[in-house]
């Protein structure tokens, strides 16, 4: 429910500054939250370049924001310690965009009961409502699943819930911190008149007969068929998994009825890229030969090629038989194009063919790795529910493993471990600023409707353990010996993550588990570049004169802040420039030397002061002792 008044709206592209105070992990997460807005809404974000108003995201005390654009030039939004979760950032940004909490809308008493005597004293104001002259629920039903709803435990003074939903099934639904709900998006897109987004391109579950505008090629030897089951499998589609009789379609290439080498081509409708990079995601089922494959091509149009130039992007081979499998294909297309799906009949016996369903194309980055966990439900709450992923490598070459704990009573935990790998001799240790993003995929057919649960952690090279070793040091140095299922020995460092990744109740909701399969999407990327200060704009008027007299050395940049010219100095992982004109060079080593020498100097000074004090005191009492010896004797006798 939104604050009424056009003056509170932001432009569709919101200028922002990520302040230096932010933790590195938070910076990466904020950028990921921006990506969720770019995918699902028409709201975009760009670094502040001198616009009249901007969002200043900083590490304050706690997580908070103002509601709407306050038009105060620099509007603060705090992402403090413990707030570095993508859904928390989305929540605070929704406040900034003009939304109150869901439980404060004017009609909330129709849907929830506030139990006032369970609320902590003086905290009642947290359950205010707004009348419909101040707040607009935008003609959208009350939303228990909103990311803007508080959970049942909000501001409780004991253990009993303060918010009770009138439909009891929603008691544990309220308070989700996963992603935008369907209604969150409906309201946001309505408030900001959104009709498209920056990065979404297409989604197809083949439920409609027009197959999303896809076309069969005439230059192939077979066709894709839209079916709801195939004789050799699958028995149902992936979108509905057979839950809806008479619906649930997918595309099938029957490789059993064609000869080896036959090809069936399906082309997407024409697509128009904006960003130049795309991720194609699809589910495949193989019931044919193990040598059947799916080739992904791009047909790219340009002035010189009216029919488009066909480029092979990926050959998807060795598709396991008997279950739906998730695949990602990275594309880098800059002009008008189509995606071409070419099923190829391979050698070997086939009793079925290839099927595809739930295709999503977006201008986002594909996850680096996918961890597919089969027969998932048996692990929930079981002592056997301690799962380690296969080993993966980051783009920088670090080897890592994900650890999912499903053995606790209520929550699933997830942890990142660095493990010994083939590149360790060439890598920097302790591992600096690699951010691992772990996403439990909501397998909703439409990427815009997914509420995937995501957490990120970042390797801080200076972090130490209780025994003084660097936490993210080389696993062969600080890790413990472990074994892969095939018996190969390796070293695994301590895990870093959360025991509260998701409750089992939420895990069993939505489409996190589909066909008893779960997917954890993994990305590990270097975020070292976020360590440096965001470039502040160089003003074009008036203020620019202030910088004309300031010369920053060593590639520093002059900026005007609060009416004063100052230099922003370059910095790297372990050294930096500082000083008024960036004239001083500092390094981690220097800092250590300064710290050690300062400590030694203070110690020496304290020693001298102590020795002098002891010397003076001794002299004083010696002198006293010789002049008042009789008194002392008398006092001692008295005492005994």
Partner 1 sequence: TPENFDVDGGLDQDIFDINEDFGLDLFEGDIRLDGAQNR
Q: Hey, what's the torsion of the CAs at 474, 475, 480, 482, to 10 degrees?
A: -160
Smaller CB separation from partner 1, 492 or 568: 492
Closest approach, Cβ 79 to partner 1, in A, equals 11
Nearer residue to partner 1 within complex by CB, 99 or 519: 99
Q: In terms of residues, how long is the chain? A: 640
Q: Pick the catalytic residue from 19, 23, 92, 160.
A: 92
Closest distance of CB 494 from partner 1, Å: 4
Question: Rounded CA gap, 204 and 124, in Å?
Answer: 47
Residue 571 phi/psi, 5° resolution? Answer: -145, 155
CA 397 remoteness from chain centre: 21
CB of 206 to partner 1, least distance (A): 38
Q: Structure tokens of 39? A: 């995918």
Q: How far is the CB of 472 from partner 1 (least distance, A)?
A: 11
Instruction: Locate 378 and state its tokens.
Output: 């048996």
Beta carbon of residue 283, minimum distance to partner 1 (angstroms, whole number):
31
Instruction: Report DSSP letters for 498-556, one per residue.
Output: EEEEEEHHHHTSTTSSBTTBEEEEEEEEE-GGGGSPPPPP--SSTTHHHHHT---STT-
What angle in degrees, to the nearest 10, is found between the helix axes of 24-40 and 86-97?
60
Say how far apart CA 107 and CA 103 lie, in whole Å: 9
Nearest distance from residue 438's CB to partner 1, in Å? Answer: 12
DSSP helix/strand/coil, 310? strand
Shortest reach from residue 400's CB to partner 1, in Å: 14
- Which residue blocks in 213-304 are alpha helix, DSSP H? none
- Residues sharing a CB contact under 8 Å with residue 112, sequence separation 6 or more, in sequence order: 103, 163, 164, 165, 166, 174
CA–CA gap between residue 371 and residue 52 (Å, rounded)? 45
Identify which of 136, 17, 141 has the alpha carbon closest to the alpha carbon of residue 79: 17
Residues in contact with partner 1 by CB under 8 A are 61-67, 70, 72, 76, 80-83, 88, 91-92, 95, 100-101, 104, 125-126, 128, 150-151, 153-155, 175, 177, 403, 411, 413, 415, 457, 471, 479-480, 482, 492-500, 503
Q: How far is the CB of 480 from partner 1 (least distance, A)?
A: 5
- The token duo for 200 is 């979404």
Please, what is the minimum distance in Å from the beta carbon of residue 58 to partner 1? Answer: 12
CB-based contacts of 618, cutoff 8 Å, min separation 6: none
- How many CA atoms lie less than 13 Å away from 419 in the CB half-sphere? 25
450 vs 506 by CB, closer to partner 1? 506
227 vs 494, beta carbon nearer partner 1:
494
Containing 55, the helix (H) or strand (E) segment is strand 54-58
Query: What six digits make up the tokens of 8?
Result: 């509170």
Distance CA 453, CA 442 (A): 8
If you ran DSSP here, which 8-state letter would residue 6 be given? G
Give CA separation, 481 vs 423, 461, 490, 492, in Å. Answer: 18, 22, 6, 6
Which residues, 6+ apart, have CB-to-CB distance to 238 below 8 Å?
250, 283, 285, 324, 357, 358, 443, 445, 514, 515
**Shortest reach from residue 167's CB to partner 1, in Å:** 21
Closest CB to partner 1 among residues 190, 503: 503
| Least distance in angstroms from the C-beta of 471 to partner 1 | 7
Q: Is 92 a catalytic residue?
A: yes
Q: Smallest distance, Å, CB 499 to partner 1?
A: 5
CB within 8 A of 308, min separation 6: which ones? 299, 300, 301, 337, 338
Pick 396 or 403: Cβ nearer partner 1: 403
SS3 for 79-140, per residue? Answer: ECCCCCCHHHHHHHHHHHHCECCHHHCCCHHHCEEECHHHECCCCHHHHCCCCCCCEECCCC
- Quick one: 106 or 554, whose CB is closer to partner 1? 106
DSSP 3-state assignment of 226? strand
* Nearest CB to partner 1, comparing residues 499 and 544: 499
Q: Are 204 and 341 in contact (CB under 8 A)?
A: no
DSSP codes, 128-187: ----TTTEE-TT----TT-TTPPPTTTTBSSSS-SEEESSGGGTTTTT--SS--HHHHHH
Cβ-based nearer residue to partner 1, 95 or 252: 95
Which residues are marked as active site?
92
């Amino acid at each position: 429910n939104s604050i009424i008044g056009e003056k509170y709206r932001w432009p569709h592209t919101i200028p922002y500054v990520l302040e230096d105070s932010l933790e590195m992990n938070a910076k990466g997460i904020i950028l990921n939250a921006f990506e969720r807005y770019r995918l699902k809404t028409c709201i975009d974000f760009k670094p502040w370049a001198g616009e009249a108003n901007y969002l200043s995201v900083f590490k304050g005390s706690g997580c908070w924001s103002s509601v709407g654009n306050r038009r105060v030039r620099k509007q603060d939004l705090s992402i403090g310690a413990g707030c570095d979760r993508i859904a928390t950032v989305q929540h605070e940004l929704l406040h900034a965009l003009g939304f109150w909490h869901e439980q404060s809308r004017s009609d909330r008493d129709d849907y929830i009961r506030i139990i006032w005597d369970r609320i902590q004293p003086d905290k009642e104001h947290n359950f205010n409502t707004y009348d419909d002259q101040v707040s607009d629920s935008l003609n959208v039903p009350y939303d228990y699943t909103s990311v803007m709803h508080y959970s049942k435990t909000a501001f409780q003074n004991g253990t009993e819930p303060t918010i009770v939903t009138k439909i009891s099934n929603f008691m544990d639904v309220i308070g989700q911190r996963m992603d935008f709900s369907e209604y969150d998006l409906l309201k946001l897109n309505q408030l900001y008149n959104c009709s498209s987004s920056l990065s979404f391109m297409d989604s197809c579950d083949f439920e409609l007969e027009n197959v999303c505008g896809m076309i069969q090629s005439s230059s192939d030897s077979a066709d894709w068929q839209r079916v709801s089951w195939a004789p050799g499998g699958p028995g149902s589609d992936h979108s509905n998994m057979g839950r809806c009789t008479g619906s649930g379609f997918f595309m099938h290439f029957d490789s059993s009825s064609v000869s080896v080498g036959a090809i069936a081509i399906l082309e997407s409708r024409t697509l128009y890229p904006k960003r130049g990079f795309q991720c194609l995601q699809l589910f495949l089922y193989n019931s044919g030969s193990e040598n059947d494959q799916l080739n992904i091509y791009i047909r790219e149009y340009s002035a010189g090629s009216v029919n488009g130039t066909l480029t092979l992007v990926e050959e998807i081979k060795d598709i396991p038989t008997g279950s739906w499998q998730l695949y990602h294909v990275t594309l880098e297309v800059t002009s008008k194009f189509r995606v071409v799906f070419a099923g190829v009949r391979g050698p070997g016996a086939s009793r079925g063919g290839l099927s595809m369903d739930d295709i999503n194309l977006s201008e986002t980055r594909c996850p680096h790795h996918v961890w597919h966990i089969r027969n998932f439900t048996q692990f929930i709450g079981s002592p056997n529910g301690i799962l380690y992923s296969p080993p993966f490598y980051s783009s920088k070459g670090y080897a890592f493993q994900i650890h999912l704990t499903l053995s606790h009573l209520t929550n699933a935990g997830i942890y990142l471990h660095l493990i010994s790998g083939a590149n360790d001799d060439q890598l920097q240790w302790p591992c600096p600023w690699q951010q691992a993003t772990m996403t439990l995929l909501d397998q909703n057919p439409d990427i815009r409707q997914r509420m995937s649960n995501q957490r990120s952690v970042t390797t801080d090279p200076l972090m130490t353990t209780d025994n003084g070793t660097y936490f993210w040091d080389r696993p062969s140095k600080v890790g413990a010996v472990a074994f892969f299922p095939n018996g190969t020995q390796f070293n695994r460092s301590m895990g870093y993550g959360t025991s509260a990744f998701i409750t089992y109740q939420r895990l069993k909701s939505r489409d996190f588990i589909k066909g008893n399969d779960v997917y954890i999407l993994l990305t590990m990327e270097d975020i070292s570049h976020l360590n440096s200060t965001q470039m502040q704009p160089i003003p074009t008027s008036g203020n620019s004169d202030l910088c004309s007299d300031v010369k920053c050395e060593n590639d520093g940049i002059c900026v005007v802040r609060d009416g004063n010219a100052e230099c922003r100095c370059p910095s790297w992982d372990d050294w930096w420039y500082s000083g008024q004109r960036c004239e001083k060079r500092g390094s981690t080593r220097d800092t250590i030397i300064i710290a050690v020498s300062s400590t030694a100097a203070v110690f020496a000074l304290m020693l001298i002061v102590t020795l002098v004090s002891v010397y003076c005191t001794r002299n004083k009492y010696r002198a006293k002792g010789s002049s008042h010896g009789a008194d002392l004797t008398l006092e001692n006798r008295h005492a005994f």
